[in-house]
Structure 1
Amino acid sequence: MEAEPPLYPMAGAAGPQGDEDRLGVPDGPEAPLDELVGAYPNYNEEEEERRYYRRKRLGVLKNVLAASAGGMLTYGVYLGLLQMQLILHYDETYREVKYGNMGLPDIDSKMLMGINVTPIAALLYTPVLIRFFGTKWMMFLAVGIYALFVSTNYWERYYTLVPSAVALGMAIVPLWASMGNYITRMAQKYHEYSHYKEQDGQGLKQRPPRGSHAPYLLVFQAIFYSFFHLSFACAQLPMIYFLNHYLYDLNHTLYNVQSCGTNSHGILSGFNKTVLRTLPRSGNLIVVESVLMAVAFLAMLLVLGLCGAAYRPTEEIDLRSVGWGNIFQLPFKHVRDYRLRHLVPFFIYSGFEVLFACTGIALGYGVCSVGLERLAYLLVAYSLGASAASLLGLLGLWLPRPVPLVAGAGVHLLLTFVLFFWAPVPRVLQHSWILYVAAALWGVGSALNKTGLSTLLGILYEDKERQDFIFTIYHWWQAVAIFTVYLGSSLPMKAKLAVLLVTLVAAAVSYLRMEQKLRRGVAPRQPASRGPSTRCAVTAIWRRTTRTRATRRASMGTARRRRRRPRGPGPAPSPPDLAAGPAPTNRRKGATGPRSSEGSPGPGTQPPCSPASVYHVSGRGDPLRVPSCLQRLLSLLPHIGDAPPRARVTSGLQQPPPRRGGALGTPQPRTGVRKHS
């Protein structure tokens, strides 16, 4: 079988005629210059275009995988370190031997308060930070703050742990909002690179059909959350390979525990104050923290080096040019949209369920009955179930849109009913398999919930100037829900399950109501998306006004000069430039003055509230409407400091500057229109 010939022959390869190529043109020094520097005769433009967009699509896939792996490593390190730190600080022997009377429980409570309370203010600064730094750099900055939190555990003091926890709380919502925005933008770019031929036919200003990027978005969100949910399993590696060797068994830690599950109150009431059989050496702790720090640094490098920009530079400029005040207000204005209002209960439930998995199922049902040494395996079951179920979100490619989200809510509803009537017996391992199944099924519901919500938001709000606001609102409501769980941590388990159940039912009903409105064609109320680059639009109007004003003055000066100059040969005056349209003037024909003596508009002036004129700004397809008051102001700005009215103006066309001296060496006045910039 013969080998397929290459698309382009190798440079310098001898053809059938030795030093001549197949076209009969000599190769080497005797080759013509056009053959060396000109276009290759066998150049295939379509093949090169296909290869170019294939590289672009591979770059988008690389961005998605890098962002997913970076998020997985970041949260794996954060959750693993926080879990190990809280277990060590809970043991009273460890506190007394290591830190004496430093008040470590108080430091831990302040640290948890900083992590849970600070995100409440995130709605005020998250959109501004994302627009200021950009989506990719906001992700990098947030991952760096997580790495800073890891580094402060080398020296555990109040002035290191609490400030780093507050900084981490400030970075939670910006990280998740930028991550959701980034994955959505990658799906849109992948659709653009996959259908480049259709876009070339439609033109650059023609938008693709709404929802056309939905299949790619569904796949990318499934990949992202499949990676992210593995972070719960990665977080258990320090527990499995290091801390479990120092823990007491369940007969010691659960000696005073009387009730578990639905009969419990608070978090692990009656749990033993000493959980460590032997204290870990400081050197071993430093080694573990160094490994976690290295992984956090690797996550920073992944985001920095492998994640490309979410927007083009011109798009970044347009997103910032709407004004920082508008950027600050737009998250609040988007709440007018009935789609967001109907999804708010689901946002709140999304925060409730992830905290209930880590505190309710893992601690109230798991550790309370089978001991602390099996906590890691319960969370691994939850992680693997959620990671595998994230790929089930791909069923949305063939099923109706509400099915995955409603299916996840149904799984959680069934489990909540079962947990409401189940109270496992402490120190009994016969029912441990039920705990693992419950944790895995809860992970399935969590994955369908997270994947479905993120995909739904990316489909409903596909305009790039709205995505960061929408994901900010989504994760801010999640942060509010997590803060509520933090405040109600001492409630009985039945009260927690009741709140969870009511929120879930309200979220499902509200979401189905939203889908019904969309099917009926109810138009959502969205805040007006202001055109980008307002300054550029004003500059274009200014230049147009200057050009038309100068044309009118030039024509008047030419007519005046024709009456005054003597007869003789000379250059014929050039006609005025009429391509710019009529000159904007404030006076009608026959007006005597701009205003009357009483301050009211004169007989020849336009009223101050005249209709706005329409200007088609270059570079933009939509017209810009400018009030006449602003027209008059802009028409006067370029003429501040002009020559007196008696100055001669020769022509509207730009002429070369005259020589410094005339025939007798006397300077001659400059002619022509002053060039305004």
Structure 2
Amino acid sequence: MLQMQLILHYDETYREVKYSNLGLQNIDSKMLMGINVTPIVALLFFGTKWMLFLAVGIYALFVSTNYWERYYTLVPSAVAIGAAIVPLWTSMSNYITRMAQKYYEYANYKMEHVQEQKRAPRGAYNSYIIGFQTVFYGLFYLCFVCAQFPMFFFLRSYLYDMNHTLYNVQHCGTKSHGILTGFNTTVLHKLPRSSELITVESVLMAVAFLSMLLVLILCGSAYRPTEEIDLRSIGWGNIFQLPFKHMRDYRLRHLFLFFIYSGFEVLFLCTGFTLSYGVCSIGLEHMAYILTSYGLSSAVCSIFTLSMLWLPRQVPLLAGAFVHAVLLIALFFWEPRACNLAEASMLYLVAALWGLGSSLNKTGLSVLLGMLYEDKQRQDFIFTIYHWWQAMAIFVVYLWSGLPMKAKLSILLGTLIAAVLSYLWMEHKVVKLIPHRLPKIPKPRHKMRGYRYLEDENSDETDSEKEDEGKESDSSEGEAPMDQQDQPRHRNRCAYEQALGEEGGDNAG
């Protein structure tokens, strides 16, 4: 829908005929600002299944506003989509990882630790996480193909050919500046009928509602009732703080450059490469074919992530980075000529190879995070910080749209090299068994009649600090006698046991 809007609203004649009295000349810039800026402040997470349902509903809201295009409908819905991006992707990533873990428990139900609901051995989930994430991303990348259906079946017959739209274009590729400098402001040789637009929007609305029903009916709970963390009970302050507190873990700190590059590369392909290389060279009517080749290649090449079942886990990420590095260097020296269909085969090849790198990058990162953070209580916060950094990268790409192409390629290549070096250093630390630091997750504080929890929870406290508690005191507390320090803790513990009875200790765990 957004792609179709951008093309329709770009056409000067379409804007004047349909929206001149509404002042919608710059509506697309405001919508893009809402979609790209809002995610950097969107860290709310209400739960796995219901967040999926709510986020898909917000996308349905965005589609529905096109029946009545106004500032007060389009811009707020774009802001709502921006706010839903990070929670949506956090929910999806966490849900796929939890389904892999639950399937392990289903397939190995006879094992003692599964029957007693104890923690599985380290690495037991890995093969299942690899398989589930590979299938998910293989299906996900097909959305780049489905997104071109409005172009193939509806809008393509209304577009001018490249001899008209590229008449004033002088430079493409590495010598381009901004986005499509000199591109003709009239891209439609006739205006689509309102009834046809309503038909397309109704189809998209039907797909959105079907998605909501599928999530509501087919998606089960991601956790057992005894495993579910009641986020409201740990306080909204902890919900916002815990993702960032996990950055104390050196593994996450060393990966955040890969998170940023993951956001850079997809948006660059969809905007920088597709427009400044593809559309600038072979015309707007071929844009759908470029994105389709990217989507099909990514979907098919996701299967290569299964190599992690036999090869070291570093292989997919490093292979994807190598493919993108070669392509970035090639793009730095490539200047395709405008109105030249001879460049089409090369453009499709680059899009397909970029899809290979993207599939290895995104699938490899999700699998790696699932392997490193098997603790079910931490996956929400880990995937939140992953997709928040991606949202930050999308915001940066939105800001740099006016830069020269060589500057964009240099930023991408520099970020990729730094990400690879940082990741290799992380793997070196892991091999050396250097301990990592994780924040303590506060216990859920459920309200009980006549009682309340008296002990203080400190989410800044790490697991290692918790183990050492009582053995030695901090330097600032060293002057207080140990018996005076232990008395309040003892009283709190007694009140807690009185409130919960014999099961108090188990429920707290």
TM-score w.r.t. length of structure 2: 0.89
Given the superposition, is the C-alpha separation of residues 427 and 492 from structure 1 closer, same or farther in structure 2, using an over 3 Å criterion?
Answer: same
Amino acid at match of 1:627: R
Counterpart residue number, 2:67: 154
Counterpart residue number, 2:395: 483
Shift of 1:195: 1.1
Alpha carbons 1:608, 1:628 under 8 Å: kept? no
Counterpart residue number, 1:195: 108
User: Does residue 171 in structure 1 map to residue 102 in structure 2?
Assistant: no
Counterpart residue number, 1:433: 345
Please give the per-residue CA displacement for 1:541-581, whole angstroms capped at 9, x wherever unaligned. 99xxxxxxxxxxxxxxxxxxxxxxxxxxxxxxxxxxxxxxx
Alpha carbons 2:445, 2:453 under 8 Å: kept? no
User: Does residue 302 in structure 1 map to residue 164 in structure 2?
Assistant: no
Amino acid at match of 1:196: Y
User: Does residue 208 in structure 1 map to residue 120 in structure 2?
Assistant: yes
Q: 1:394 aligns with which of 291, 306, 309?
A: 306
Please give the per-residue CA displacement for 1:352-404, whole angstroms capped at 9, x wherever unaligned. 00011101111110000000000000000000000001111111111100000
Alpha carbons 1:610, 1:627 under 8 Å: kept? no
- CA distance in 2: counterparts of 1:433 and 1:506, whole angstroms: 32
Where do 1:52-451 residues align within 5 Å? 81-123=1-43, 126=44, 129-130=45-46, 134-199=47-112, 204=116, 206-317=118-229, 321-451=233-363
Q: What are structure 1's unaligned runs of at least 5 residues?
A: 1-80, 543-606, 614-625, 638-677
- CA distance in 2: counterparts of 1:92 and 1:452, whole angstroms: 43
- CA distance in 2: counterparts of 1:296 and 1:527, whole angstroms: 38
Alpha carbons 1:139, 1:178 under 8 Å: kept? yes
For residue 270 of structure 1, give the secondary structure of its aligned residue in structure 2. Answer: coil
Alpha carbons 2:93, 2:366 under 8 Å: kept? yes
Larger RCO (alpha carbons 8 Å, 6+ apart): 2
User: Does residue 461 in structure 1 map to residue 373 in structure 2?
Assistant: yes
My pick for the range that moved more, 523-532 or 439-448, is 523-532
Where do 1:536-555 residues align within 5 Å? none
Shift of 1:206: 2.9
Amino acid at match of 2:323: V
Counterpart residue number, 2:465: none
Shift of 1:531: 4.2
Counterpart residue number, 1:612: 486
Amino acid at match of 2:489: P
User: Does residue 627 in structure 1 map to residue 489 in structure 2?
Assistant: yes
* Bigger-Rg structure (1/2): 1
- CA distance in 2: counterparts of 1:326 and 1:89, whole angstroms: 43
- CA distance in 2: counterparts of 1:478 and 1:315, whole angstroms: 28
For residue 505 of structure 1, give the secondary structure of its aligned residue in structure 2. Answer: helix
Q: Give the length in aligned residue pairs.
A: 473
Alpha carbons 1:319, 1:465 under 8 Å: kept? no
Shift of 1:196: 1.2
For residue 223 of structure 2, give the secondary structure of its aligned residue in structure 1. Answer: coil
Given the superposition, is the C-alpha separation of residues 631 and 443 from structure 1 closer, same or farther in structure 2, using an over 3 Å criterion?
Answer: closer
Amino acid at match of 1:199: E
- CA distance in 2: counterparts of 1:368 and 1:94, whole angstroms: 22
Alpha carbons 2:453, 2:495 under 8 Å: kept? no
Shift of 1:449: 0.4
For residue 400 of structure 1, give the secondary structure of its aligned residue in structure 2. Answer: coil
- CA distance in 2: counterparts of 1:461 and 1:630, whole angstroms: 31
Please give the per-residue CA displacement for 1:123-162, whole angstroms capped at 9, x wherever unaligned. 3xx2xx33xxx21001000000000000001111111000
Amino acid at match of 1:268: L
Alpha carbons 1:191, 1:216 under 8 Å: kept? yes
Counterpart residue number, 1:654: none
Q: CA RMSD in A?
A: 2.3
- CA distance in 1: counterparts of 2:68 and 2:335, whole angstroms: 41
- CA distance in 1: counterparts of 2:498 and 2:151, whole angstroms: 73
- CA distance in 1: counterparts of 2:330 and 2:29, whole angstroms: 32
Please give the per-residue CA displacement for 1:327-347, whole angstroms capped at 9, x wherever unaligned. 332112111110111001000
Alpha carbons 2:35, 2:82 under 8 Å: kept? yes
Alpha carbons 1:611, 1:628 under 8 Å: kept? no
My pick for the range that moved more, 294-303 or 136-145, is 294-303
Alpha carbons 2:101, 2:129 under 8 Å: kept? yes
Amino acid at match of 2:2: L
Structure 1 vs Structure 2: percent identity of aligned residues? 66
- CA distance in 1: counterparts of 2:141 and 2:71, whole angstroms: 31
Instruction: Compare the two structures and name the one with the higher helix fraction.
Output: 2
- CA distance in 2: counterparts of 1:159 and 1:531, whole angstroms: 42
Amino acid at match of 1:336: R
- CA distance in 1: counterparts of 2:239 and 2:163, whole angstroms: 57
Alpha carbons 1:415, 1:442 under 8 Å: kept? yes
Please give the per-residue CA displacement for 1:597-645, whole angstroms capped at 9, x wherever unaligned. xxxxxxxxxx8953537xxxxxxxxxxxx614546878999xxxxxxxx
